[in-house]
Structure 1
Amino acid sequence: MEKINEINGHAANHTECTLPAAEVDTDAKKDAQLTAQEKFVRFLKIHLLVILTVSGVLGGVGIGMAVRNMNLTRAQMTYFAFPGEMLLRMLKMIILPLVVCSLISGAASLDTRSLGKLGGLAIAYFLVTTLIASGIAIALAFIIKPGVGAGALNTNSLKLTGTVTNNKETVDSFLDLARNLFPANLVAAAFRSYATDYKTVSIGNATAGNLTYEKIPTGSEIDGMNILGLVLFAIVFGIALRKLGPEGEDLIKFFNSFNEATMVLVSWIMWYVPIGIMFLVGSKLVEMEDVVLLVTSLGKYIFASILGHLIHGGIVLPLIYFGFTRKNPFSFLSGLITPFTTAFATCSSSATLPSMIKCIEDNNGVDKRISRFILPIGATVNMDGAAIFQCIAAVFIAQLNNVELNAGQIFTILVTATASSVGAAGIPAGGIITIAIILEAIGLPTNDLSLMLAVDWIVDRTTTVVNVEGDALGAGILHHINQQEMKKQQAELETVRVEAVPNIKSEEETSPLVTHQNMGVVPSRKGDLESKESVL
């Protein structure tokens, strides 16, 4: 006997409180009488998708190692990777409607005061966790010293073809971040973002011999969804709909329905995830020419990055969650195995967003208004895992070039990694360009970034898992704070009502105006109950 609990806007299965005790006992006896086979079948039905997803990763490793020995041509590798490419295309297809509709409906369901407090708590959480992650990364880089003694490491000996051509000035990188917050064309923002380019202009007179050249920044549009601009627009548009009152209800209902339909599509796509993941992992193993050489040559860097992810994701973030909620963080995370596996395989926090929203609501009972408001923002601005590997990469390249970093440069790495991770694209290898910004800020060459590209496919997997874990635990913390505030407000309302009843009775005995007082009490209580819709 289950029903959907929608009091706080989230779905949670629970036993109806009006059930007779005898009926509850009967259900308990039926559960106890299930055979081991029936219990196993029930377990499979509940956890089938998780089991299939993990099996897809293991199967991909096996298939990839087997196909590596077949010496496929590049065309054959493309055909082999096609099922995995289809998964990425489906996930990217659903990102735009999911982000926009979920944020609009989430912002419209919260009043302005609640939205301000909720947004403030979220930004504070994202900022503090990213700063902690950057500090852990720099400490590990100076302890492990991945670049010390590796000066002979030559990219040519590794036969690396990937290069990063990014000569953008640091100030222009931050100005582009601000420009992308306010896209000039919302339709174009769905598939293009703003980026500064440069052109050289001659100044002076060539005949007089005083000709000089000046590099002038110019605007250009590059391929890639401007998630940051869409997020800001969706939040502000949702607030505007809320301000309209009754006139905006129809449009709010439209976006709510659109959002629910999108989640149905997500549930269908989830059943293709195990197949797509298997070929994504397998094709990546087939593409690498010499995995052993890369891992041994850059082993310290890989080890430092993954260790930083383990410390932050396995110790720091769970401790923060426990500190706020006094609940077991690992039982909370156990309901999110499918999104974590998807993050590990796709290396994209944006592509993981659909499955994360579905699982955190269905398995963990997080309020829909909170999850669909916070998670899209977190997928854009909260990049703890990216901050870790970016800081380690910056120190690694400094050690590789025998550059001693001073306190000012270390502080610059901390601040730049934290700030630039806000604008990092939630796509595979999206953080590599951000490393170029950090290197430019501290005056280091960017030509060694091809080393990062060579092993990014390894490090980026744990990076994405930590990114989405931080988003999930943040949503859990905000949900807990919201629940506590609601309980506190409920207790205050109960106290006020209990104290008001005796006062009314005493006035009934002495005052003929009591009927007018009673009429004023009841509606006020009703208004108070309606105001409980969101307390944050």
Structure 2
Amino acid sequence: MNKLTIKILIGLFLGAALGLTMPAVYQEGFDWLNQYVLDPAGSIFLRLIMMVVVPLVFLSLVVGVSDLGSPKQLGRMGMKTIAFFLATSAISLTLGIAAALVIQPGTPNLLGEGVAEEYQPPEAVPVMDTLVNIIPENPIQAMANMEMLQIIAFAIFVGLAMAVLGDKVTTVKSFFTQANDIMMKIVTFVMGFAPIGAFALIASALGEAGWGAVGDLLAYMLTVVGVLFFHMFVVYSLIVWFLGRMNPLTFFKGFAPAITMAFSLSSSNAVLPLSMKSAQENLGVSKQVSGFVQPLGATINMDGTGIMQAVATVFIAQVYGQDLSLSAMLVIVLTATLASIGTAGVPGVGMIMLAMVLASVGLPAEAIGLIIGVDRILDMMRTSVNITGDAVLAVIVDRSEKKRGAIDENGNATEAS
């Protein structure tokens, strides 16, 4: 467990203790502290998160799509990889939404009737209008208004065009890559304030909502954890059994070192070397397939993160007393699935993606304050799910390519490829 994680957890426990005890002992003192310290500190941290949402999503998507190469260059293996990741992302999001709708972890008006009454939800948009509106009339206006699906669509077009043009736009691609690196560094800076932000937000939220919020937060956490476990040990087991022709017990035993490390580091990118080593040496995946599928998965496959976003969005909607329409749920699935392409696998990005998903369905970003304190714990678990999905696909693609004769048993390319 790294230093930042420890600091965030300390901030979480101290903030929870303050928010649950001080109002009962000295309500006026808490009100003053909340007005002049906690609320401003939490608002600043949320503003820092919102500051990077649009540029990070746009730049990371452009770079991610352009790195995939042209459709011809992607070939059979590339199309299998992308199709699998998009399909499992959609499945994970659907599972998250369904679980949250059934369990209903969020209590209406948890933050007080005044807060819920002040929030004015957007009018429900018909499903077909949602699909049509994915294409922006003015990309710049879409960025200014945080129309996330439109931003994602435009970024994908730019990335595809750059991929097709190849060496002709080397300079432009270098600019986008370096700009994306700058944004990721800013994310690192922002996450440096996470312990303070977690302390202030959880103290303020619990102080205003009281002990009633504890039960809701626990229900939210258990819902996310339950869906993560189901997706990892049921969905992935079925996939690796039927499509990869491998015993799930053999798979999880061989990949256990990487899963454990991912839980500790909370970063798909940081654990990538061990993930590839475990897949190649313990699961028999060829270096060719592992070297293509797993790095790509660390960039575009975020099943665990998608589960958190789906449950969190429904949870927040329930807290604000809002029923999500069919079109809103479709927007959640589309936004989170498409945005996962190119989003870096580093700690803290999940919260930024959640802010983006909330904006796409018109829910207030301030509601992140309810869950950000406990998110670090969930981040460790969902990272393990993310990299497990990459390894599952690596096994499937490797078996498929060997069966076709595209690579031999030693993982070397053959003439058939």
Q: Work out whether the TM-score is over 0.5.
A: yes
The whole-number CA distance in structure 2 between the counterparts of 1:459 and 1:172 is: 28
Aligned residue type for 1:330: L
Aligned residue type for 1:415: L
**1:336 Cα shift?**
1.8
The 3-state SS of whatever aligns with 1:351 is coil
**1:169 Cα shift?**
2.9
Counterpart for residue 348 of structure 2 = 429
Counterpart for residue 243 of structure 1 = none
Normalising by structure 1, we get a TM-score of: 0.50
Q: Deviations over 1:132-163 (max 9, x none)?
A: 11111111010110113462379x9xxxxxxx
Aligned residue type for 1:339: A
Q: Deviations over 1:190-224 (max 9, x none)?
A: 65319xxxxxxxxxxxxxxxxxxxxxxxxxx6344
Counterpart for residue 169 of structure 1 = 147
460 and 150 in structure 1: CA distance in 2 versus 1, 3 angstrom threshold: farther
Confirm or deny: 8 A CA contact 2:106 2:216 kept in the other structure: no
Counterpart for residue 533 of structure 1 = 414
The 3-state SS of whatever aligns with 2:340 is helix
Counterpart for residue 128 of structure 1 = 87
**1:427 Cα shift?**
1.0
Which runs of structure 2 are paired with 1:336-375 in the superposition (5 Å)? 336-375=255-294
The whole-number CA distance in structure 2 between the counterparts of 1:225 and 1:471 is: 27
- Name the larger-Rg structure: 1
399 and 380 in structure 1: CA distance in 2 versus 1, 3 angstrom threshold: same
Aligned residue type for 1:120: M
120 and 172 in structure 1: CA distance in 2 versus 1, 3 angstrom threshold: closer
The 3-state SS of whatever aligns with 2:183 is strand
Q: Does 1:392 align with 2:311?
A: yes
Counterpart for residue 193 of structure 1 = 180
Q: Deviations over 1:394-432 (max 9, x none)?
A: 111111110111212122222222112224331112122
The whole-number CA distance in structure 2 between the counterparts of 1:463 and 1:532 is: 34
Tell me the matched-pair count: 302
Confirm or deny: 8 A CA contact 2:109 2:321 kept in the other structure: no
Confirm or deny: 8 A CA contact 1:192 1:225 kept in the other structure: no
Counterpart for residue 380 of structure 2 = 461
487 and 418 in structure 1: CA distance in 2 versus 1, 3 angstrom threshold: closer
The 3-state SS of whatever aligns with 1:350 is coil
Counterpart for residue 419 of structure 1 = 338
179 and 428 in structure 1: CA distance in 2 versus 1, 3 angstrom threshold: farther
Structure 2: where are the runs of 5+ without partners? Answer: 15-62, 116-143, 163-169, 188-193
Aligned CA RMSD, in angstroms, stands at 3.8
Aligned residue type for 1:442: V
The whole-number CA distance in structure 2 between the counterparts of 1:436 and 1:167 is: 14
Counterpart for residue 111 of structure 2 = 152
448 and 472 in structure 1: CA distance in 2 versus 1, 3 angstrom threshold: same
Structure 1: where are the runs of 5+ without partners? Answer: 1-55, 70-99, 157-165, 195-220, 227-282, 491-530
Identity of aligned residues (%): 30
Q: Does 1:222 align with 2:175?
A: no
Q: Which protein has the bigger strand share?
A: 1
Aligned residue type for 2:102: I
Confirm or deny: 8 A CA contact 1:429 1:456 kept in the other structure: no
Confirm or deny: 8 A CA contact 1:191 1:223 kept in the other structure: no
Aligned residue type for 1:533: T
Aligned residue type for 1:376: P
The whole-number CA distance in structure 1 between the counterparts of 2:339 and 2:415 is: 33
151 and 532 in structure 1: CA distance in 2 versus 1, 3 angstrom threshold: closer
Counterpart for residue 101 of structure 2 = 142
The whole-number CA distance in structure 2 between the counterparts of 1:455 and 1:180 is: 35
Counterpart for residue 53 of structure 2 = none
